[in-house]
Amino acid sequence: MGGAILITVLVLILLAVAWRRPARHIVDERVWTLWLGVGFTLSVLVALVGYGLWVGERILWRDDGALRVAARAQQWGWEFTQPGPDGAPIVTKDVLYVPAGRPFDIEITSSDVIHSFWVPRLGGKMDAVPGRINVTRLTADAPGTHEGLCAEFCGIGHSFMRFDVVVYEDGAYPDLSLTQAETGGQP
């Protein structure tokens, strides 16, 4: 938004200068075409590509020991396999637990049709494709609960395909007794 405002203001200033200037002070057309037409456009494109590469690098997974979580989508819910407090894997339905301030990789797949994993407050939308594992990296800065959803129409129950991401203080794993009670002992 800031970039669009800046470009709009620059164009309006250039228009004002062009209209106020008498015809006898016209600058060579090559200056306008090359420096303002090509040069300005190329500098904006270079800045946008650089920003895109910087953002893209942040969400790429790497083998650096970050927390790994598996997310499996099926019509119409999510199943997450994640390390529990003792390191043993636990499986939760529609609730993902992650530590605050640490990057985590999510291995995303689907059991039936194409879905899409998206937590708007954390960014990083990724498709869940049957038979394929897509990996994305996210980081939650502060403890709290964020809503996630399927962002790919996947059938009649699509609007109910939501999940929660519970972000806890690093080292203070949340109590899963409520989750276990709701699922009959299975976290």
The pLDDT score that the predictor gives to residue 149 is: 92
- As for how many domains the chain has, the answer is 2
The Cα–Cα gap between 64 and 62 comes to 6
The pLDDT score that the predictor gives to residue 43 is: 84
Backbone angles phi, psi at 38, to 5 degrees: -85, -50
The pLDDT score that the predictor gives to residue 72 is: 95
Angle at 16 between CA 12 and CA 22, to 5 degrees: 155
Residue spans of the chain under pLDDT 70? 18, 21-34, 58-61, 175-187
The Cα–Cα gap between 149 and 84 comes to 23
CB 73 within 8 A of CB 115: yes
Same domain, 177 and 137: yes
CB 149 within 8 A of CB 78: no
pLDDT in tens, 65-115: 788 999 999 988 999 998 887 878 899 999 999 989 888 889 999 999 999
Distances (CA, A) of 178 to 27, 70, 174, 181, 184: 74, 21, 10, 5, 10
The Cα–Cα gap between 37 and 135 comes to 40
Give me the torsion for CA of 134, 70, 106, 88, rounded to 10°.
-150
Q: Which two tokens stand for residue 63?
A: 């083998």
The whole domain housing 123 covers 67-182
The pLDDT score that the predictor gives to residue 52 is: 83
CATH of residue 153's domain is 2.60.40.420
Same domain, 38 and 105: no
pTM over 0.75, yes/no: no
Same domain, 158 and 124: yes
The pLDDT score that the predictor gives to residue 182 is: 42
The pLDDT score that the predictor gives to residue 32 is: 65
Q: Which two tokens stand for residue 80?
A: 């997450």
The pLDDT score that the predictor gives to residue 162 is: 93
